[in-house]
Structure 1
Amino acid sequence: MRFQYAFQKIVDLKSNERTQAEWMLSSAIGKLQAEEKSLGELLDIRESMVKQLQEAAGQCVPVSMIQEIQAYVEYLDQCIRMKHVDVNRANMKVQIQQKHLSTKMLDENVWLKARDKAKTAFQQQALLHEQNELDEMATVRFAMGARAR
């Protein structure tokens, strides 16, 4: 006799939900990393533009060029502020997905433990049934042996 858990399809469903939650978390982490990389690039560009602005201030450069560089630095500052918002939003999404995954993992573990308990109970029942059959065979042999004497 083989163990078949009556709720195996639910266990499989919970496992699939956990896998899907892992994928969603992985995707959210990837987006967060992309946003952080983009922010880093903006910061690097801003830093190089500030250096250019400082160098231009020390040299004889037209005021219009200095104003263009300053306007671009201000534009970069605005982009950096918006990118910080994007990074924070992506970070919140990662946290939400982590909570979602932990919920799905907990749910799956509940069903796995229930299946394990059912399997243990099945195995104990099978051992008890086998022991009863062995006891019955021993009783029959003893009774046959007693009659033969």
Structure 2
Amino acid sequence: MAAFRYAYQKIVDLKSSEKTQAEWQLSSAIGVLQAEELSLAELRQKRTEWESKQHESSNEAVSLAELQLMQHYLEYLDSCIASKLTDVRQAERKVEYNRSNLADRMKDEKVWLKAKEHAKDRFRHVMQIKEQNELDEMATVRFKVSVPS
């Protein structure tokens, strides 16, 4: 019996490779998003700490310069947090883009795998018909040989 060879196997392999690459890109984008979110959380924690330091120092005798310095640092942290929020949103958009890209690649791969499976089913059907025809021919020949003329 002949072996099945799919004419478009290289396309199936390419689609599989594209899907794998899309998975890696999504994984990388998720890693970047997690790093940005962690950095944002650290900035927020640092701001909370400095805010409580400023609040505590208002109860103590602290110079105006120190209070102003704390206030400037809190404003700096606010601008860092705003910037980091922009980075997080950008990383989230990148993750969504990569998710969508992966979904498209998975659909492409599935379409080509289905086409390959259908081709394989047709091949099996043709081979079964050939095999049945050969068996029928052998049975006919045996019958003719066994029947006296």
TM-score interval, normalised by the smaller of the two chains:
over 0.9
Once the two structures are superposed, the pairs formed by residues 1-80 of structure 1 within 5 Å of their partners are: 1-80=2-81
Q: Deviations over 1:23-48 (max 9, x none)?
A: 00000000000000000000000000
Q: Deviations over 1:25-82 (max 9, x none)?
A: 0000000000000000000000000000000000001111111111000000000000
Q: TM-score of the superposition, structure 2-length normalised?
A: 0.98
- Cα drift, residue 135 of structure 1: 0.3
* Alignment-derived partner of residue 135 in structure 1: 136
SS at match of 2:5: coil
In structure 2, distance between residues paired with 1:73 and 1:67: 10
Give the unaligned 5+ runs of structure 2.
none
In structure 1, distance between residues paired with 2:134 and 2:70: 93
Q: Extract structure 1 runs of 4+ deviating beyond 3 A.
A: none
In structure 2, distance between residues paired with 1:66 and 1:53: 7
SS at match of 2:6: coil
Once the two structures are superposed, the pairs formed by residues 107-122 of structure 1 within 5 Å of their partners are: 107-122=108-123
* Alignment-derived partner of residue 87 in structure 1: 88
SS at match of 1:117: helix
Q: Deviations over 1:87-133 (max 9, x none)?
A: 00000000000110100100110000000000000011111110100
CA RMSD of aligned residues (A): 0.7
In structure 2, distance between residues paired with 1:79 and 1:131: 77
In structure 2, distance between residues paired with 1:2 and 1:132: 19
Q: One-letter code of the match for 2:139?
A: A
Give the unaligned 5+ runs of structure 1.
none
In structure 1, distance between residues paired with 2:19 and 2:135: 45
Aligned residues: 148
In structure 1, distance between residues paired with 2:70 and 2:62: 11
- Cα drift, residue 142 of structure 1: 0.1
